[in-house]
Amino acid sequence: MKLTPKIKLLIIAALGITAVLVIVFAVILPQQRNIISLDQDIYDQRVNYEFITQQRQDLVHLERQIMEIAANHGRVSSTLFSQQDTLELITVLENIARESNINNQDLSLSNPIALESGLFMSTINIKYNSSYTELINWALAIEQQPFYLIIDTMTLSSENSPNEDAVGKISVQISSKVYWQ
């Protein structure tokens, strides 16, 4: 059989198409699967890297917060200690009023301020009704306490009431500063 140029052209075209198909199926398709797999690996590594970076940022943020808390620890603990001492001060003042037969004492205490000397200072307003003897007993009991009550103003006025119990009663209003440890 004689190969004509037309047959040669068909054979070359068939061999070329076969070579292209072999290259596509043997080289390109497996490499495409590898490329897809590598792309997925790169994506997974990027996600892991972002997660690790976020964890490191969170860790750095937490370390900063811990350092801030450690720096403010003294202030926070002194405030908590101050609140406990404030409650003890109010309890002592109420007990003194009860022991002095003063039943209707009103206390108004401002937020305490920590002084450099280690004392706490607060302004306090005290209002109650009592007799002169009860007022003296109250003042004597205050003098025996481990805090300092420095009176700024003290207003005494007689009660005008038709009750027999109100005879000899005075209305007391005290504005003062109190210092305690």
CATH code for position 111: 3.30.70.60
pLDDT at res. 76 = 55
pLDDT at res. 152 = 92
List the pLDDT tens digit at each of the 181 positions of the chain: 687 889 889 999 999 999 999 988 888 888 888 888 889 999 999 999 999 999 888 888 888 888 887 777 666 555 555 567 778 888 888 888 888 888 788 888 888 887 888 788 889 999 988 888 888 888 899 888 888 889 999 998 886 655 555 557 888 999 999 988 7
**173 CB contacts (<8 Å, ≥6 apart)?**
125, 126, 127, 153, 154, 155
Tell me if 48 is assigned to some domain: no
Cβ atoms of 84 and 108 within 8 Å: the answer is no
The helix (run of H) or strand (run of E) holding residue 5 is helix 5-23
Tell me if 12 is assigned to some domain: no
pLDDT at res. 180 = 80
pLDDT at res. 2 = 80
Q: Is 138 exposed, middle or buried (0-12, 13-18, 19+ CB in 10 A)?
A: buried
Q: What is the DSSP code (8-state) at residue 111? A: P
Which structural domain range is residue 90 located in?
Answer: 77-180
pLDDT at res. 120 = 82
Tell me if 15 is assigned to some domain: no
Give the integer Cα–Cα distance in Å for 96 and 50: 65
Number of domains in the chain: 1
Tell me if 103 is assigned to some domain: yes
pLDDT at res. 168 = 75
pLDDT at res. 165 = 56
Give the integer Cα–Cα distance in Å for 150 and 124: 10
Tell me if 87 is assigned to some domain: yes
The helix (run of H) or strand (run of E) holding residue 140 is helix 132-143
pLDDT at res. 43 = 93
pLDDT at res. 67 = 84
Question: Residue 30 in 3-state DSSP?
Answer: helix
Give the integer Cα–Cα distance in Å for 42 and 68: 39
Residue 151 neighbours by CB distance under 10 Å: 14
pLDDT at res. 181 = 76
The helix (run of H) or strand (run of E) holding residue 94 is helix 29-99
Give the integer Cα–Cα distance in Å for 138 and 141: 5
Tell me if 162 is assigned to some domain: yes
Tell me if 5 is assigned to some domain: no
Tell me if 42 is assigned to some domain: no
